């Protein structure tokens, strides 16, 4: 679907086939980003990697991120993710009412540990975490269409700061954000100097400073971008997953039967169980398909004129992959495309089916397309797998009942728009241990995973 908004060409892509043919197969034309003046140029000083236009700086930053987040490289973080999964399951059983906060804390803590070797966050009220989340909120608002007039009237960038409060505050925040990201990054540098560092993305960059030609500030912002891109999307995906679990108890029981058969009840799941837990792996794929955190993904921009199926696509067109429509297309996912059904990713024998070429074997388009596909997808897949497996091994997630014993209705479609990420509307969830030994086993696992 082609639109023109105040002179801006917009192409909305509503099928995985078209998204793959344009964004994957024509990457030389479709790999840039639209200009984002407030969110990228002002608030981030042009250093927010996800919003960088296609060019030399983006290529160097992307190469650096990829080297630290390959499928093989992320295996060294398995202990961190297992530890966080056990802490998460334990917290959910101790204080189930705050389950959303537990998802946020766990996602933030694991990513901070992977990126900065940051100590485990015991609470979501950590000062550094609050500062980073304030930054993410500002970026999300700034990226929302129509939030700032300067996006529609770029000439406003030339207004002096004393007459443009938005510009003055944005640049002040850029200085504040840079200080925060450089402080976290330089702390890892200090840890390396005194011999106390452990594996982290920052350490990988610091030990290879000339490999990608990035300055200290560019590396600090690269790592900050990775946190911003991963923490909120992971916690939001877990939030949608929990909603799916209480709305589909038969799916939950199927997964728990698989866990009992493979893992048993004397220990929590590990990554070595993954090949024998295809239903859990399918559940991860189905959650990402059913409710992508960014239903319109991040926009691409054409750098040259193009033609597609007889239609002209001019240079500078903003291309939006409508993942919501793509993922709920009955022609691609079947008549039950609107339902949560992990079985769609399994064959008749219960084995995982490779995803289609259009989805790069993922089975969904949530991680994006072409050269702009999510570089942290391996961390995301690992995190979601071990979180879901551990929680379902340890707990039952059920709908809350009212004072008359009736199940409280759930809204499975409504969402809260935070600017870029779409979250489910607030709901309640009852979480209880699956068997009496769960709390003691989790405590024992926590002791064994201490580092």
Q: Which residues make up each annotated binding site for heme?
A: 374
Residue positions in the annotated binding site?
Answer: 374
Distances (CA, A) of 304 to 152, 290, 316: 22, 33, 7
Q: How far is CA 104 from the centre of its chain?
A: 12
CA 70 to CA 63: how far, in whole Å? 11
Q: Are the beta carbons of 268 and 394 closer than 8 angstroms?
A: yes
Cβ contacts of residue 264 below 8 Å, gap of 6+?
none
Put the strands of the sheet holding 8-13 in their side by side order. Answer: 2-5, 8-13, 318-321, 300-301
Q: How far apart are CA 252 and CA 283, in angstroms?
A: 10
């Amino acid at each position: 679907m082609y639109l023109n908004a105040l002179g801006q060409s917009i192409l909305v892509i509503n099928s995985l086939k078209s998204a793959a043919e344009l964004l994957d197969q024509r990457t030389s034309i479709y790999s840039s980003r639209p200009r984002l003046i407030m969110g990228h140029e002002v608030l981030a000083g042009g250093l927010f990697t996800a919003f960088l236009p296609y060019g030399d700086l983006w290529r160097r930053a992307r190469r650096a991120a990829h080297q630290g987040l390959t499928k093989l490289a992320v295996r060294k973080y398995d202990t961190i993710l297992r530890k966080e999964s056990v802490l998460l399951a334990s917290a959910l059983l101790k204080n189930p009412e705050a389950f959303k906060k537990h998802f946020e804390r766990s996602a933030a803590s694991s990513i901070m540990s992977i990126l900065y070797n940051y100590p485990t966050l015991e609470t979501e009220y950590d000062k550094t975490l609050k500062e980073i989340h304030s930054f993410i909120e500002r970026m999300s608002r700034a990226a929302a269409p129509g939030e700032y007039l300067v996006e529609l009237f770029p000439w406003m960038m030339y207004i002096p700061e004393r007459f443009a409060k938005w510009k003055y505050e944005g640049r002040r925040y850029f200085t504040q954000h840079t200080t925060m990201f450089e402080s976290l990054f330089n702390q890892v540098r200090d840890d390396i100097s005194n011999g106390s560092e452990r594996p982290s993305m920052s350490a990988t960059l610091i030990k290879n400073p000339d490999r990608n030609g990035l300055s200290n500030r560019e590396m600090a912002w690269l790592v900050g971008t990775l946190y911003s891109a991963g923490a909120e999307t992971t916690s939001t995906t877990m939030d949608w997953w929990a909603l799916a679990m209480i709305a589909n108890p038969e799916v939950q029981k199927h997964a728990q039967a698989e866990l009992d058969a493979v893992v048993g009840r004397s220990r929590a799941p590990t990554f070595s169980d993954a090949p024998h837990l295809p239903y859990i792996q399918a559940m991860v794929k189905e959650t990402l398909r059913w409710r992508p955190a960014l239903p319109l993904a991040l926009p691409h921009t054409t750098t040259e004129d193009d033609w597609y199926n007889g239609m002209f696509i001019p240079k500078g067109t903003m291309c939006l992959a409508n993942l919501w429509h793509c993922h709920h297309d009955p022609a691609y996912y079947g008549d039950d495309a609107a339902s949560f059904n992990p079985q769609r990713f399994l064959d008749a024998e219960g084995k995982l089916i490779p995803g289609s070429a259009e989805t790069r074997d993922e089975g969904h388009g949530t991680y994006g397309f072409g050269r702009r596909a999510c570089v942290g997808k391996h961390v995301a897949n690992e995190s979601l797998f071990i979180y879901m497996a551990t929680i379902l091994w340890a707990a039952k997630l059920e709908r809350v009942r009212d004072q008359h014993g009736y199940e409280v209705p759930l809204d499975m479609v409504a969402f809260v728009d935070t600017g870029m990420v779409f979250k489910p509307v607030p709901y309640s969830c009852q979480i209880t241990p699956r068997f009496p030994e769960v709390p003691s086993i989790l405590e024992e696992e926590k002791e064994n995973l201490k580092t």
